[in-house]
Amino acid sequence: MVEFSALGPISGIPDSDMDTVQRLYRVWTRKYARNALRTKYYNAHERVKNLGIAVPDKLANRFHACVGWPAKAVKTLADLSVFDGFAYPNGEDTHGVDRIMDLNRFDLITPETIVNAYTHSCAFLTVFQDPDDGERVRVIPRPATWSAAIWDFMRNRIKAALTITDIDEYGNATDMNVWLPHMVYQCSRVNGAWKASACPNDWPYPTVVPVCYDPQAERPFGRSRITRPLMALTDAAIRTMLRMEVGAEFYAAPSLWFLGLDQDAFTDKWSSLVNSINSVSRDENDEVPTLQQVQQMTMQPHSDMLRTIALMVSSETSIPVNDLGITMDNPASAEAMMAAERKLSREADRQNHLFSYALEEVIRMVVCLQEHIDPEAMPESLTGIRCQWKPTQEISLGARADAFSKIANVSEAFAQSETGWRYAGFDHDDIADIMSTIRSQNARDVLDRLVGNAGNAQQQGSEPQKTDSSEPVNVGKSAGGADVLKAKFDALGVAIRAGVEPSNAASLLGLDGVRFTGLQPVSLRDPNSE
């Protein structure tokens, strides 16, 4: 067990905050042993806990069997918590959230954080200003093994947090960050003395978001998937495998007994056992020794016990017993798999809903810090962002396509929405391509209608005004010519607002000679200016 040294005074942290820092450090040292134990079970590093009855400790200490059920309990549920990006109000990413996710590798840190949360009950996402780029805000995941937090029950959020970023060879912290409202302290220990540098921010509470599994009122940081019953069952399974291994070793070769034969008759017992031809001479009384063979041991009682333990593990974790590798049936259909994993998928749906709050809070925090938005006055384009997850139930492609087709026949809007295509089973990238195609097609349809309307207006007016790239547009002398040109420019504005590239829209409307300033049509401001 790791013995941690006491945390001394830290230069640069005022006394008003030092009490909180000391409390955070005590929480970390107190919880470390429990978190480290679950890490050992997850990595299958926990050794056999021998009872010393059937198997001597000398043999048990040489046994290195592993049981991966704790990792299975974590990964099976984590595989159903697959983050699939964010959905935006009106389908427009006005705050560059997709770019923020790419820069912070959300595709990597999200599953990593979820696995840590299932393993240790919680993990943390920290948000801070990039030291190399002052305009960029970074998101870094931290496991519970190297973190601690204090919960504010009155405000239902984290009051303060601590993350260990480096340790020495003895396991003592040498670098850590302390997260407080409006402040982050970066602490380092040099030559036994702690020093801290203050990094203030505009956020009214710590920029740390907990990601928890099954949080409760009395346990706001949740609980671990590697429960005490699961650890006890894992120990029992390892002992059962130990007895099976020892029994197999003793009875791997047949045990033979010669009654009435002196031991000196065999110079090499192993060679006599494995040779195809052997001979035994008569004894001094001219009698042939009697041969008896010990009955081979059966593994059935041990395998039955291991199967019983697997059934108990299945009950504890909601994992189908076939997935534990004890019983193997024929491959199941998608409907059968869905029925077997019904309880697990319902738990994943509930847990994904809880994870959504954490991820949405993180992305809003990043946007507000980058764009200097008051957290009390977030626009709807930010508060309306919602997390999306891959389906937790195993549904066949045929069933999804059939359901999508039936709903789309009732509601055309469903077939042109991100929700509809996500319901059909497409992922975030595929949906982005589909929606881009739909928007382009809609814009093209709008433009075609506008071109037709402009042509009708031209036919009802005077002769068409010729435009080319070499001459400016001639408004015309007649009122009819002015009306035609006005209709074309009205159509041009509508097309641009619909998402059509300006030069393409002008070409289709016969306005090739129009030169664009690059200014936005609504406010006429330079989009590159502040």
So what's the pLDDT on residue 55? 78
Q: For a pLDDT cut of 70, what percent of the chain falls above it?
A: 68
Q: What pLDDT is stored for residue 396 in this prediction? A: 61
Instruction: Looking at mean pLDDT, say which of 49-53, 382-386, 453-457 comes out highest.
Output: 382-386
pLDDT greater at residue 506 or residue 77: 77
Q: Is the pLDDT of residue 478 over 50?
A: no
> Average pLDDT, whole number, for the chain?
80
285 Cβ contact partners less than 8 Å away, ≥ 6 residues apart: none
pLDDT band at 192 (very low <50, low <70, confident <90, very high): confident
Please write the tens of the pLDDT for every residue from 278-320: 556 666 666 666 666 666 667 788 788 899 999 999 999 999 8
Q: Kindly tell me if the per-residue pLDDT of 135 is higher than 50.
A: yes
Helix, strand and coil content of the chain, in percent to the nearest 5, comes to 45, 15, 40
What are the residue boundaries of the structural domains of the chain, listed by start?
Answer: 8-150+212-251+299-327+336-394, 431-508
Distance (Å, whole) CA 142 – CA 163? 7
Nearest to 77 by CA among 260, 223, 205, 190: 223
Residues 107-126 have a mean pLDDT of 96
Ramachandran area for residue 40 (φ above 0: left; ψ -120 to 50: alpha; else beta): alpha
- Residues of the chain above pLDDT 90, percent: 41
How high is the pLDDT of residue 245? Answer: 81
Average pLDDT, stretch 194-203?
A: 92
Query: For 88, which DSSP code?
Result: -
pTM: 0.72
pLDDT confidence band for 475 (50 / 70 / 90)? very low
Q: Which residue has the higher pLDDT, 63 or 333?
A: 63
Highest mean pLDDT among 175-179, 267-271, 428-432: 175-179
Whether pLDDT at 476 is above 50:
no
**How far is CA 425 from each of CA 82, 101, 345, rounded to the nearest angstrom?**
13, 22, 16
